[in-house]
Amino acid sequence: MDAVKKYSGRLFTLEVLGIIIALLFLIPFYFVIVNSLKTFPELAANTAKLPKSLYLDSYVKVWTIMKFPSAFLNSLIITVVSNVGLVVISSLAAYRMVRKPSKFNNLVFLAFVAAMVIPFQSIMIPLVRVAGQIGLMDSKLGLIICYFGFGVSLNVFLYHGFIKSIPLEIEESATVDGSSPYGVFWRIIFPLLKPMSTTVVILNSLWIWNDYLLPSLVLNSPELRTIPLATFSFFGQYTKQWDLALAGLTLGVLPIVIFFLAMQKHIVEGITAGSVKG
């Protein structure tokens, strides 16, 4: 009895500790959201207080100045199309490399794995030149193609590890039934890859949605801006006008936080699965 009491006492202390740390983690969000709902004088007077009344004007202004709907749509299109493309080309390539480990395929796989060490900063300068010469600059499609190139190493690597664990017998019986290699891949293998595809999509989405540097180099036109680019240029213009800046930040953060809260379970599983093969 005494042992049980002591044990739950310890758990209770840990629980309280956890909640305190969690509140510390949340403080920045509190500050940003609360102050985005204040008028400027109210914000300047005290940033810690709750707002007297909900002041939504900043949001209305920011919505149009930042061209939020357009930025959101750009981010969405770029993230979705890059993901679809990456899932298809990476799973195709990884499947072939596992099932037909020719010298050439092994060499390509090795190159993909080795390339994961190359920091983006090391190739961004010539990349801008290459992208300019083959017409990838200042276009959403161009940026998406860049994501294909940068994402393919890690994605092929992840699929490669996963496909190795799929028994060959499954596809052999389909081949006997007369399916073409493409049919075998699409109807039998691709559906089996779903857990890894979820991981791949989640890792890619967090990366592409939040990316600033690559889009800032590739996209120039204001109407092509993604959320990070729009926030950056907005923040540059309205530096000391915190009421507007904070409303802009809240809008910028909102979509990915909602996505996270909705997809939490998959995100946590995806990250765990993706890191095991680091």
Partner 1 sequence: MKNNKGMAGLFQQWVFVGPALIFFTLIVLIPFLMSIYYSFTEWNGVTTTVKFNGLSNFKHILLNDEDYRNAFWFTTRLTVTNVILTNAVGFLLALLLTQALKTRNVLRTIFFMPNVIGGLLLGFIWQFIFVKGFATLGDLTHLAFFELPWLGDAPTAFWAIVIVSVWQGSGYLMIIYIAALSNVPKDMVEAAYIDGATRTQVLRNIIIPLIMPAVTVCLFLTISWSFKIFDLNFSLTKGGPFNSTESVSINIYQEAFRNNNYGLGTAKAFVFFIVVAIISTIQVMYTKRKEVEV
By CB under 8 A, the residues from 182 to 201 that bind partner 1 are 182, 185
Which 219-248 residues touch partner 1, going by CB under 8 A? 228, 231-232, 235, 242, 245-246
User: Between 173 and 264, whose beta carbon lies closer to partner 1?
Assistant: 264
Q: How far is C-alpha 35 from the chain's CA centre?
A: 27
Query: How far is 50 from 194, CA to CA, in rounded Å?
Result: 45
Q: Which is nearer to partner 1, 120 or 195 (CB)?
A: 120
The verdict on 1 binding partner 1 (CB under 8 A) reads no
Calculate the alpha carbon distances from 217 to 71, 124, 127, 202 in Å: 16, 8, 9, 24
- CA angle 114-116-121, nearest 5°? 120
Count how many residues are written for the chain. 278
Residue from 56, 60, 84, 130 that binds partner 1 (CB under 8 A)? Answer: 130
Stretch that binds partner 1, among 50-58, 59-67, 167-175, 181-189 (CB under 8 A): 181-189
Alpha-carbon gap, residue 32 to 129, rounded angstroms: 39
> DSSP code of 38?
S
> Per rule CB under 8 A, is residue 107 in the interface with partner 1?
no
Assess 124 for contact with partner 1 (CB under 8 A): yes
* Residues 23-42, interacting with partner 1 (CB under 8 A): 25-29, 31-32, 35
Question: Which candidate, 65, 66, 69, 35, places its Cα nearest to that of 50?
Answer: 35
CA distance 15 to 23: 12
CB of 1 to partner 1, least distance (A): 19
Q: With binding defined as CB under 8 A, does residue 118 bind partner 1?
A: yes
Under the binding rule (CB under 8 A), the answer on residue 60 touching partner 1 is no
181 binds partner 1 (CB under 8 A): yes
